[in-house]
Structure 1
Amino acid sequence: MKLKTNLLLIAFLATFAAFSQNTYVFLGSYNRDKAAESIVVYELDTLNGKLTKITSAKNLINPSFLTVSPNGKYLYACTDSKTPNAGSVSSFEFNPENKTLTFLNKQSSGGENPVYASVHKSGKWLVNGNYTEGSVSVHPLLENGKIDSIAQNFQYTDGSVHRERQTCSHVHSTVFSPQYDYLFLPDLGADKIRCYQFDATLKQPLIEATVPFTKTAPESGPRHFTFHPNQKFGYCIEEMSGSISAYDYENGTLKKIQRISTHPDSVTEGFESSDIHISPDGKFLYATNRGKENNIAIFSIDDRGILTKIGYQSTLGKHPRIFAIDETGKFLIASNVITGNVIVFKRNLKTGLLKKAGKKVKLENVSCVKIKKT
């Protein structure tokens, strides 16, 4: 009888712990009006997809890209993006109980127009990529969530073949490997995916890798990168070519296994491919197309890592820059910059297809969405 009671208690506590966690949606924007909300936090109802606003932040210029610390306590933003002779990264403390988002500090991003940032799994390092100047910066993170001054900064000068868009390097994302021992930097301007070893125990954690870069196709414009949950495959979306390149991955090395278009065969120019993510179960890959299409391309993934296109879903807005999938895999949330709206889609876990859920929310020039359960 005692054993049965203990088992029931354990089950109750596990259920309570699961339901005591809440899922939050963080939205960033290209909002140049300091008096207006530029970061907004919503709570996601994981039953019906409804978004409920809980807090926001003002007095910021263009918090264009966001990332959340592993423990969910801190939010980091690329700020002063698309601002001449400027660029910064900013930190905030998020308190879901008090429903507050408190500005902590900001530091120089080490280059003009920061567009992407990632936090190491230790919570002790922030890495950001600067698009316009083509550089990567590494910042220590303090125990109170604040960002310390730059520990490392690498500037690149090489470009590629396009006479207007590839005159120099344009680092577009900073992505840790599954074990967080390597850092990958898709460089749109140089048609390269750069790579460094990352040793979180060092004061300067970026170390030259054995294979310092993977060359992509000319005029491909590699933009964002993601790893498969099984840690064996990597996928890079190429903005300029409108393609996805799939790779076998092992110990910092990428070996191409496939290249596939994100567009229908009828679309032959004007590509503006943007973001890429994989469902938590590893069965489906999603990629956004901006420009004329404004949709999400949906692919299945087989055991070899090969993609097969299975459909498209309109983002119900214009210019879908960033989207995110929640930890359960039930919802995908897309942000449309030009129309300033955010759409929640419910995922069919069997087919991978999407269906609108809940009501859209508005945020002028919304550019980024991140989801975190805390």
Structure 2
Amino acid sequence: MARKLLILVISTIFSSFIANAQQYYLFVGSYNRDKAKEGVYVFRFNEKTGALERVSALAGILNPSFLTISPGGQYIYTCSEAQTPNVGGVTSLAFDSTRGVLTLLSRQDSGGDNPAYVGVDPQGKWLICANYSGGSLGIFPLGANGLIAPAAQIIPFKDSSVTNRQTSSHIHAAVFAPDGKYAFFPDLGADKIRAYQLKPNASPVLQPATPAYTATIPGSGPRHIVFHHRLPYAYCIEEMGGMVSVYRYRDGKLDRVQRVSAHLDDKAEDYNAADIHISPDGLFLYASTRESANTIFIYRVNQQTGQLKQVGKIPSGGVHPRNFAIDPTGNFVLVANQRSNNIVVFKRDQQTGLLTATGTTVSLPNPSSLQLRLYH
């Protein structure tokens, strides 16, 4: 009896240690309008229930509207979205996963107004930035200590397209392909997805790919792009057209093979489509649309052709779902509704891809970016 009791106690302690040793964290970026106010938030995320527990928050950054996590998880990078000249910037933060606390490390000018997106290469050596209003992109060397060096290169554009919103270039995302050899920059103002090859030992470090861009449908306004982690396909959400375009991807080249709706049946000049992500198992794709729709659209991904079939949709649980994240287990989808000031947690059916509200909602001022990661 005593031996069984001892085994039970040891087992309980061991299970508790394992549970405590693994922790999911949610990082939230926002529009704080004043750098003296909190702008980046840290929550513990329960991967079994979808519950969120606020741990800490950080002030000192103006409008940290988009976040990305270093490959090792120890650093968080954010853009400071500001239209005032010489205020837009990129910032690095150190994360203490034991305490759940962020610390400011470094800051550099982004090289343009209103930086809206930052991305990191798979090796964690380069940070790329999309300057939306400035119509430019930048690339910055990253130190092993998380420090951002001054820009190695700033590339401006002067293009335009067919609508009143497209009188100049508006780079809206900065995304590395999975192999890290190429980077892609959707230009909402020019209806182009720009492509560059990363050459770390050359000057300049970013060189135009062949072709240098892929043209999208006039007036579509490409916003974000995501690469399938297993199949040779990429998916771009078009903000103004309210569509998702599917591209076959190979060696820096994108060839469109399909274009599907990401809006309701209403007709509009600008549907305000926003974010796009693929489930961890690669079987489903999700897209958000803002304004009157406030909807998450759900698609099944054909595992042979990469093409999409819409299988469902659900209201976002708020207003203006600018950004969302799928947790690493694939069990939950978290949606940042910017204008209703809330984050809503949905349960995800891994067989059907469909979402149901869990009832978990967190109130937060102007949430605009969500990143989830498991820490050991």
TM-score range, shorter chain: over 0.9
Is the aligned partner of 1:21 residue 2:22?
A: yes
Structure 1 residue 121: Cα displacement: 1.2
Matches within 5 A, 1:349-368: 349-357=350-358, 359-368=360-369
Preserved CA contact (<8 Å) 1:158 1:190: yes
Cross-structure match for 1:192: 192
Cross-structure match for 2:134: 133
Is the aligned partner of 1:229 residue 2:229?
A: yes
Cross-structure match for 1:176: 176
* Residues 22-78 of structure 1 deviation map (CA, whole Å, 9 limit, x = unaligned): 111110111113343211010110010001111110122111111111111111111
Preserved CA contact (<8 Å) 1:151 1:203: no
Cross-structure match for 1:75: 76
Q: Secondary structure at the match of 1:169?
A: coil
Cross-structure match for 1:106: 107
CA distance in 2, matches of 1:270, 1:160: 14
CA distance in 1, matches of 2:83, 2:356: 33
* Residues 168-220 of structure 1 deviation map (CA, whole Å, 9 limit, x = unaligned): 11000011111111001110000000001113444643122121100000000
Cross-structure match for 1:49: 50
Cross-structure match for 2:250: 250
CA distance in 1, matches of 2:352, 2:150: 46
Structure 1 residue 357: Cα displacement: 2.5
Cross-structure match for 1:287: 287
Structure 1 residue 264: Cα displacement: 2.8
Letter in 2 for 1:347: R
Identity of aligned residues (%): 45
Distance 1:208 1:269, change over 3 A: closer
Preserved CA contact (<8 Å) 1:50 1:358: no
Structure 1 residue 278: Cα displacement: 0.6
CA distance in 1, matches of 2:328, 2:94: 21
Letter in 1 for 2:30: S
Preserved CA contact (<8 Å) 2:78 2:92: yes
* Residues 319-353 of structure 1 deviation map (CA, whole Å, 9 limit, x = unaligned): 11111112221111110111110011111000101
CA distance in 1, matches of 2:368, 2:97: 23
Q: Secondary structure at the match of 2:346?
A: strand
CA distance in 2, matches of 1:83, 1:348: 44
Cross-structure match for 1:88: 89
Cross-structure match for 1:6: none
Distance 1:179 1:19, change over 3 A: farther
Structure 1 residue 285: Cα displacement: 0.6
Preserved CA contact (<8 Å) 2:122 2:178: no
Structure 1 residue 14: Cα displacement: 12
CA distance in 2, matches of 1:203, 1:71: 27
Letter in 2 for 1:59: G
Cross-structure match for 1:335: 336
Preserved CA contact (<8 Å) 2:30 2:366: yes
- What is the aligned length? 362
Preserved CA contact (<8 Å) 1:51 1:358: no
Preserved CA contact (<8 Å) 1:226 1:236: yes
TM-score by length of 2: 0.92
Q: Which runs of 5+ in 2 are unaligned?
A: 1-13
Is the aligned partner of 1:298 residue 2:298?
A: yes
Preserved CA contact (<8 Å) 2:140 2:150: yes
CA distance in 2, matches of 1:301, 1:80: 33
Letter in 1 for 2:183: L
* Residues 118-153 of structure 1 deviation map (CA, whole Å, 9 limit, x = unaligned): 011111111000000111100111121111100011
CA distance in 1, matches of 2:266, 2:328: 34
Cross-structure match for 1:275: 275
TM-score by length of 1: 0.92
Structure 1 residue 85: Cα displacement: 5.1
CA distance in 1, matches of 2:61, 2:282: 36
CA distance in 2, matches of 1:142, 1:193: 29
Preserved CA contact (<8 Å) 1:32 1:60: no
Cross-structure match for 1:216: 216
Distance 1:110 1:46, change over 3 A: same
Preserved CA contact (<8 Å) 1:226 1:277: yes
Letter in 1 for 2:208: E
